[in-house]
Amino acid sequence: MTEQLKTAVIGAGLMGHGIAWLLAEAGHEVKVYDSSQEALDSLQSRLAGIEAMFGAGPDVRARVQGVGSVAEAVRGASFVVEAVIENVPLKQSIFEELEGLVSPECILASNTSSIPTRIIAAKVKTKHRVVGTHFWNPPHLVPLVEVVQMAEENLPAVEKTIQILADAGRKPVHARKDVPGFIGNRLQHALKREAIAMVANGVCDAETIDDVVKYGFGRRMAVLGPMEQSDLVGLDLTRAIHETIMPDLDNTAGPHPYLVECCEAGKLGMKSGEGFRKWTPESADAVRDQLRDFLAAQARGNNPGNEDG
């Protein structure tokens, strides 16, 4: 088990407050900085929402403190997670600043969903202690964290990070190469590319795509990954299917023209009322609520402190 640490989270937004909760729940002291005073002012109330969801006591969020500067947040820290928006210059400047504020032993982790860690760490001299940590949204409900290794020299920091996250009740996995999108988003967006292409080519509509995933193979994916499924049915059958369909799958280089067309027309999804599908505020909220409730029920069931789980 990891000893109790002084930790810091840079960014108190959508991802940052959930990451802070996880670290505090594991017994660590957590200091959180955000350039937005509004985000800091609402930090405790948002943590209280997680507390209520899990039926936890106030001792967890008592270990989380919002502070007014990066220097104050990371003073004495041995593990720091950056959780700001996906903006390369901003992340680079934060890591450059962090390097001058923390001890040589402090691990610097970036929560990014797709940006290679080597790009974020471009201005850092002591790159051996920089790792990628892709938490999935919302981090207090989705257990997976992809821990990304840049080079051989990063392995000790990667292994320590994996241990910290495992002790915090997460499911850390080791991405051994620092490729864009890491593991999960490469898989997710390969599926999206083919889905978009089928809608664009008139094979089916967007609702049908979602139904096929949700009521078909998606039902088993929580317990049976694609490599397991291939082994289950046999690699000879997998090969035979690939010989039929692989030549016909979409291989558009870059965003599909249909996706570009939607964006340029202002069809941006739920926030604009239309994307691949049409949305009212009520139907969009219903999807959000359904997702939140489903993930919360799963998380409560996996929480060892929950007597009903």
Q: How high is the pLDDT of residue 302? A: 65
Burial class of residue 222 (count of CB atoms within 10 Å of its CB; 0-12, 13-18, 19+): exposed
What is the reported pTM?
0.92
Distance (Å, rounded) from C-alpha 206 to C-alpha 261?
15
The predicted pLDDT at position 61 comes to: 92
pLDDT of residue 303: 52
Mean pLDDT, 10 residues at a time, the chain of 309 residues = 90 96 97 96 96 90 96 98 97 97 96 96 97 97 97 97 97 97 97 98 98 96 96 98 97 97 98 98 96 91 47
* Confidence (pLDDT) at 307: 38
Per-residue model confidence as pLDDT tens digits over 122-151:
999 999 999 999 999 999 999 999 999 999
